[in-house]
Every structure is written in structure tokens, then in C-alpha cells.
Amino acid sequence: MSIDWWTLGLQAVNVLVLLWILSRFLFRPVSDIIAARQAAATQDLDAAQATRAEAEAALAAAQEQLAGVAATRAQMLAEARSEADRSRDQLLSEARAEVEKLRTAAQADRLHRQQEASHAMHAEAAELAVDIARRLLDRLPATARVAGFIDGLAEAVARLPERTRAGIGAEGPVPLRAAAEMSGDEADHLRERLARVTGHPVALAVTTDPTLIAGLELDAPHAVVRNHFRADLDRIRQELLKND
């Protein structure tokens, strides 16, 4: 057995040269491209992870915003509902008040109208009654429309205060209105009765006034003494209207 040392040395050199060649042209470029791909993949993964993190953050923000919107919406709905309830209650109360006011006004108006109607009706009835009475009294004879009221006038003057009575006729003829033209007897009888109750003669300025219907009206300086149907009917009418 012999070893060719030249061959051994050459083969060792050959393998070392091959080692350098493969290292230079095979292992280094291939491992570099693998590393580059891994770096690119890592970079892509990092970018994807960053994008995913951003997306998750955006999603979380959107969800938070959505929750905020939902809360705001619920709050706004509650406020709107409350406001609507308040407005409805206020409107209802205002409407009720308005209705009540209108109803009260209508009731008052109705009562007023009823009162007016009643008053008018009573007034009309009173006028009618007075008119009926006047028409009926118009049928009385002219003497009955004056003579029957002379005593009553004298009694009314007698009930006046002393001082007022003393003033009647003191300053000249006293205006006297008669429902019908007075006869001389009736005028004398009246002067006599007035002289008795006043204590002094009384001059009269007699005028005829058919509106009195029946009776007399003495217009003294400080008093007006009425004794005629016109005044009675007016008083009755006033009483009737007052009772309404």
C-alpha cells in the first residue's frame, strides 16, 4: 500500500478551491436571497401587523364612537320624549285652560245673553204691561184722570218736610202738570188742599201732559211731587226689572 502524496495534496487543494467557489457562487448568494426573502416577509408581516393594529384601533374607535352616538341618540330621544311630554302636557293644560276659559266665557256670555234676553223680555213685558195699563186707563173719563189724584197729591205734599212745604208757592206759581185738562173745580179743589197742607195759598201754573196717563205732578222748588200712573207704572216697571 502506498499513498500518492501529490494526489492527496492536490485533492485537498481542489476541495479547498471548490469550497471557495461554492461559498462564493452558491451558498452566499442563495443564503442572501433566502435572508432577503425572509426580511421581505418579515417586513410584510410587520406591515400587515401594523395595518391590522391600525385597523383594530380604528375599529375600536369606530365602536366607541358608535357607542357614543347610540348613547347620545338615546339621550336625545329621552330628552325629546321628555320635551314632547312637557310640550304635550303644556299644550293640553293650555288647551284645557283655553277651553275652560272659552267655556266660562261662553257660559258667561250665555248667562249674559240669557239675562239680557230675560231683561229685554221683562222690559218688553213691562212696556207691554204699561202700554196695556195706559190703554186701559185711556178709556177712563177725563175727570177721573185728574180728580181722583188731587187728594193723593195733597197727602204727598203733606208728607214733605216742613221747610220744603213752606217753600212751595213762595216764589210764585208752582208748575203743575195734569194728565188731562183740569176743570175749574178741580183746580180750586187742588188749591184748597194745597193751602191746607202748606198753610198758605199756592198759585199753580197748570199744564196738560197726557204722558202722565192719569194724575198730577207738582214741580216745587226743592221737590217734585208725583201722583200719577206714569210714575206708578215706571216704579212698577223698575221693580219688575229689579226683580229680574
Partner 1 sequence: MDNPLTLEPLFHAGPVPITAPVLVTWAILIGLALGCRIATRRLSLTPGRLQVVLELFVTVVDDQIRDTMQRPPARYRPLIGTIFLYVLIANWSSLVPGIEPPTARLETDAALALIVFAATVWFGIAAQGLRGYLKTFAEPTWVMIPLNLIEQVSRTLSLVVRLFGNVMSGVFVIGIVLTLAGLLVPIPLMALDLLTGAVQAYIFAVLATVFIGAAVGEHSPSPETAKDLPQ
Q: Name the residues that contact partner 1, by CB under 8 A.
A: 1-12, 14-19, 21-23, 25-34, 36-37, 40
Could you tell me the smallest distance in angstroms from the CB atom of residue 26 to partner 1? 4
Task: Name the grid cell of 90.
Answer: 303644556
Could you tell me the smallest distance in angstroms from the CB atom of residue 43 to partner 1? 11
Closer Cβ to partner 1, 14 or 82, answer by number: 14
Compute the C-alpha angle 127/133/138, nearest 5°. 125
Could you tell me the smallest distance in angstroms from the CB atom of residue 24 to partner 1? 9
Cβ atoms within 10 Å, residue 147: 17
**What is the rounded distance in angstroms from the CA atom of residue 129 to the CA atom of residue 229?**
12
Closer Cβ to partner 1, 11 or 114, answer by number: 11
**What is the rounded distance in angstroms from the CA atom of residue 178 to the CA atom of residue 212?**
7
Closer Cβ to partner 1, 36 or 78, answer by number: 36
Could you tell me the smallest distance in angstroms from the CB atom of residue 40 to partner 1? 6
- Sequential DSSP letters for 45-98: HHHHHHHHHHHHHHHHHHHHHHHHHHHHHHHHHHHHHHHHHHHHHHHHHHHHHH
Map residue 132 onto helix, strand or coil: helix
Closer Cβ to partner 1, 15 or 108, answer by number: 15
Cβ atoms within 10 Å, residue 226: 20
Closer Cβ to partner 1, 13 or 128, answer by number: 13
Could you tell me the smallest distance in angstroms from the CB atom of residue 13 to partner 1? 8
